Structure 1
Amino acid sequence: MTQPALQVQSLWKVFGPKAEKLVGTPDLELSRKELLAKSGHVIGVRDVSFDVAPGEVFVVMGLSGSGKSTLVRLITRLIEPTSGTVLLDGEDITAMNDDALRDIRRKKVSMVFQHFGLLPHRKVIDNVGFGLEVRGEDKAARRSRAQEMVDLVGLSGYETNYPDQLSGGMQQRVGLARALASNPDILMFDEPFSALDPLIRRDMQNEVVRLHEEVGKTMVFITHDLAEALKLGDRILIMRDGEIVQIGTPDQVVGAPADDYVRNFVSEVPKSHVLTLKWVCRPEVPGEQVSDRTLPSGTIIREAARAVLDAQGPVRVVDDNGQTVGIVDDEDILRVVVAEEESA
């Protein structure tokens, strides 16, 4: 069994002067509001546990104040957990001394923030190679690596520009290149595109998708935007008041919301753009005339629509092993599409 790239186990963050003394007491069962009124403490993250597989894009989503940004800072120990553990490739981040933690941040984890944090007096190529310079790599090696990353993120020709000569989207590309330059095991994104214009934001989302396909890095992506979460995430963790509400694939979150909070979140999502055929296929009736066409159960309904509508009879839906899990026909597809139009 493959070891998770990241394991978060029973992670808590309580803000207040006597936070550690509250661990294991009944007071932590109180709501945020009740605990604040009783003791003056605030729960930022409440008993959060999850694993991230190697190469997975794991999205943490929630509204402002949900605890998502606190969570990513706990994972990297930019702030200290009140209790719980964080394992990176099996190593306990929460037990490390300052030197070991500094080494992890330099070599294994890179972060991309909303605010680019570029050095204004340094050229693009030098900003990208800055982390390698801090690591002590010689100039020729870091220049070569930085140039590779500049080319990878589509900034070839801008190596000698300064940050104030670039657009917001281009500056964020520099941030991406800098994060990738150190060849980290995990990339952490804390709402990196939320300050960008919508069109630039979409371009940067596409860039993350492309980069993931090319370099295959494990990514933890923080966002408050559901459309962004659905577009980028292999799985999505939804938070509210510091707690996990649901963890699932995009189609699970849309097709089987855990509660009314999630249901309201996804109510306006076009289901045909997210749900797969496994959500609409039905058992085959003995003697039913079925076409010789097959489609994978993981095919998005919208992408399958043309093939199903053109087929002479229902289409078999198969799993990863080629086994039939059901059939789908015109009515099954149209039922989803019509429902979208009626709710629009």
Structure 2
Amino acid sequence: MPVRRWGRELQISAYAGSSNEGVESANNANVPSYNTDTEEGAPDKKVVISLKGITKVFGPKPNAAIELMERGLTKEQIMEKTGSVVGLKNVNMEIYEGEIFVIIGLSGAGKSTLERCINRLVEPTRGEIVVNDIDIRALEEEGLRNFRRRHIGMVFQNFGLLPHRNVLDNVAFGLEVQGMPRERRYAKARDAKELVGLKGYEMAMPSTLSGGMKQRVGLARALATDPAILLMDEAFSALDPLIRNNMQEELIDIHEQLRKTIVFVTHDLDEALKLGDRIAIMKDGQVVQIGTPEDILSNPANDYVVNFLNGIDRSKVMTCESLMKRPELIIPLRTGPHTALKMMDDADQDIGFVADRDKRFVGLVKAGDLLKAIKGKYPLKAAVKTTVRAVQPDTKAEELIAILVETDYPIPVLNEQDALVGIIHPGSVMNKVRPDNGEIAQGAEA
């Protein structure tokens, strides 16, 4: 997994360059840029699942129901007039390769129906489904069966284990159905079993396993066939909270290793925000908003989404990228203290952020310390505070708040190359993350 360096303590590195003074304005200081665009619609993302106009009507008169639906009648009115239920209404969606895409909604919103349309466990009444460039609706029975076996893995709330088979045979079952020789399928099953933390449980029977262990077997069985896509429907909903949290962490770890495309259905908003690269919120068979967790929290599409998100702790979701401001001034380390003080005065700043010749962040300097350096005829680096708490753009606001209450300066945001890409002021954090929490806000401002 990639290492995330949160709340780092930075130390100044030796600088062998000249301390010649030279004025460099904020406009030509070559401030590094950081892409703040959302991933949604990004041109470099490969679409692996495309749903267009997906509509599903359950009942005796689907065509009549669709006609009434297009005239604007509600689900209740359509049910009353036709005896049919509109499960999905003109759903359009694109899912990218390697992402965890979460579908969330209240009971009856259509989330499970939508997911099962992807591999036609539920047959859409109307619409287009393309998975890995395959027109799924055009497949005949045998072609659809082979598609499911080789392209899609499924994990549901009901574990669906074969009670008369041990763990290894359960994990290998999909490979057995594919006709893979015994020795080879067992080797693959063992790899999948160990990936989900089932080492040593090869011969255990399902009846001896806890709920969490049974779900691990189900996940290993889905992974053993090496599908490009995993469909997970309320996979962790039946588990106790602690086990559920552990399984969520396991899934994140596995996803980091394998980069499978995962479509995950849940009714739990905390679970969606924790797992999802992007989230689709559904209501009455329609998708009301798709976006990253941060997008949805920052820009809810309508009042329904606002109410749906009510009570969520934004600090667990929002990141420093959305809270930071572009640095107005970066002082080169080679600058002398006189010039540095003038640059700060011109920019109306009491604190300056210093970078070396490679644009790496060095530390911060205060006006008072510059005056002391001028008086003592010291170079700029003698006045720079180098033990500084810093964060990265993907650091969660929750982590940031813990740092803010212990510091008396704006927090620098650094990219992977340690270049300064943003500054975060305490007041702006509290206004966006916890606008009603005056006690915390005051503590951070102190």
Provide the TM-score with structure 1 as the length reference: 0.92
- Pick the aligned partner of 1:42 from 69, 81, 85: 85
For 1:203, the equivalent position in structure 2 comes to 246
Separation (CA, whole Å) in 2 of partners of 1:205 and 1:94: 32
Separation (CA, whole Å) in 1 of partners of 2:433 and 2:70: 48
Preserved contact between residue 237 and residue 244 of structure 2 (Cα < 8 Å): yes
Separation (CA, whole Å) in 2 of partners of 1:224 and 1:8: 21
Render the CA deviation track for 1:147-168: whole Å, top value 9, x for unaligned.
1111111111111010001000
Separation (CA, whole Å) in 1 of partners of 2:433 and 2:76: 42
Shift of 1:174: 0.1
Render the CA deviation track for 1:70-96: whole Å, top value 9, x for unaligned.
111111101210111111111111111
Using the TM superposition, name which of 276-285 and 46-55 deviates more: 276-285
Separation (CA, whole Å) in 2 of partners of 1:142 and 1:92: 29
Shift of 1:266: 1.6
**Alpha carbons of structure 1 residues 183 and 238: separation in structure 2 relative to 1, 3 Å:** same
Alignment of structure 1 residues 118-129 onto 2, 5 Å? 118-129=161-172
Preserved contact between residue 3 and residue 89 of structure 1 (Cα < 8 Å): no
**Alpha carbons of structure 1 residues 115 and 28: separation in structure 2 relative to 1, 3 Å:** farther
Separation (CA, whole Å) in 2 of partners of 1:28 and 1:318: 53
How much is the aligned-residue C-alpha RMSD, in angstroms?
Answer: 2.5
For 2:319, the equivalent position in structure 1 comes to 276
For 1:214, the equivalent position in structure 2 comes to 257
**Alpha carbons of structure 1 residues 115 and 342: separation in structure 2 relative to 1, 3 Å:** farther
Number of aligned pairs?
344
Partner-residue secondary structure (3-state), 1:275: coil
Preserved contact between residue 65 and residue 86 of structure 2 (Cα < 8 Å): no
For 1:259, the equivalent position in structure 2 comes to 302
**Alpha carbons of structure 1 residues 17 and 319: separation in structure 2 relative to 1, 3 Å:** farther
Shift of 1:10: 1.0
**Alpha carbons of structure 1 residues 133 and 300: separation in structure 2 relative to 1, 3 Å:** same
Preserved contact between residue 291 and residue 311 of structure 1 (Cα < 8 Å): no
Separation (CA, whole Å) in 1 of partners of 2:166 and 2:311: 44
**Alpha carbons of structure 1 residues 183 and 338: separation in structure 2 relative to 1, 3 Å:** closer
For 2:139, the equivalent position in structure 1 comes to 96
Separation (CA, whole Å) in 2 of partners of 1:284 and 1:17: 63
**Alpha carbons of structure 1 residues 65 and 207: separation in structure 2 relative to 1, 3 Å:** same
Partner-residue secondary structure (3-state), 1:236: strand
- Rg: which structure is higher? 2
Question: Is 1:287 equivalent to 2:383 in the alignment?
Answer: no
- Pick the aligned partner of 2:293 from 250, 266, 269: 250
Shift of 1:271: 1.2
Separation (CA, whole Å) in 1 of partners of 2:162 and 2:113: 25
Separation (CA, whole Å) in 2 of partners of 1:196 and 1:209: 17
Preserved contact between residue 36 and residue 42 of structure 1 (Cα < 8 Å): yes
**Alpha carbons of structure 1 residues 21 and 264: separation in structure 2 relative to 1, 3 Å:** closer
**Alpha carbons of structure 1 residues 26 and 169: separation in structure 2 relative to 1, 3 Å:** closer
Structure 2 spans left out of the alignment, 5+ residues: 1-43, 329-346, 355-360, 362-389, 441-446
Shift of 1:190: 0.4
Separation (CA, whole Å) in 2 of partners of 1:203 and 1:306: 24
For 1:106, the equivalent position in structure 2 comes to 149
Preserved contact between residue 283 and residue 326 of structure 1 (Cα < 8 Å): yes
Shift of 1:295: 4.7
Partner-residue secondary structure (3-state), 1:291: strand
Using the TM superposition, name which of 226-235 and 30-39 deviates more: 30-39
For 1:327, the equivalent position in structure 2 comes to 423
Q: Read off the aligned partner of 1:50 and give its amino acid letter.
A: M
Render the CA deviation track for 1:12-46: whole Å, top value 9, x for unaligned.
00112221455466656311011111222211011
Partner-residue secondary structure (3-state), 1:158: coil
Separation (CA, whole Å) in 2 of partners of 1:199 and 1:340: 30
Preserved contact between residue 68 and residue 222 of structure 1 (Cα < 8 Å): yes
Separation (CA, whole Å) in 2 of partners of 1:85 and 1:65: 22
Shift of 1:255: 1.7
Separation (CA, whole Å) in 1 of partners of 2:64 and 2:310: 41
**Alpha carbons of structure 1 residues 240 and 321: separation in structure 2 relative to 1, 3 Å:** farther
Shift of 1:3: 3.2
Structure 1 spans left out of the alignment, 5+ residues: none
Preserved contact between residue 232 and residue 264 of structure 2 (Cα < 8 Å): yes
Render the CA deviation track for 1:194-239: whole Å, top value 9, x for unaligned.
1111111111111111111111110000000000000000000000
Preserved contact between residue 314 and residue 434 of structure 2 (Cα < 8 Å): no
Separation (CA, whole Å) in 2 of partners of 1:281 and 1:53: 27
Q: Read off the aligned partner of 2:176 and give its amino acid letter.
A: E
Partner-residue secondary structure (3-state), 1:127: helix
Question: Is 1:73 equivalent to 2:124 in the alignment?
Answer: no
Q: Read off the aligned partner of 1:300 and give its amino acid letter.
A: K
Using the TM superposition, name which of 45-54 and 220-229 deviates more: 45-54
Q: Read off the aligned partner of 2:139 and give its amino acid letter.
A: M
Preserved contact between residue 55 and residue 218 of structure 1 (Cα < 8 Å): yes
Using the TM superposition, name which of 168-177 and 96-105 deviates more: 96-105
Structure 1 vs Structure 2: percent identity of aligned residues?
A: 44
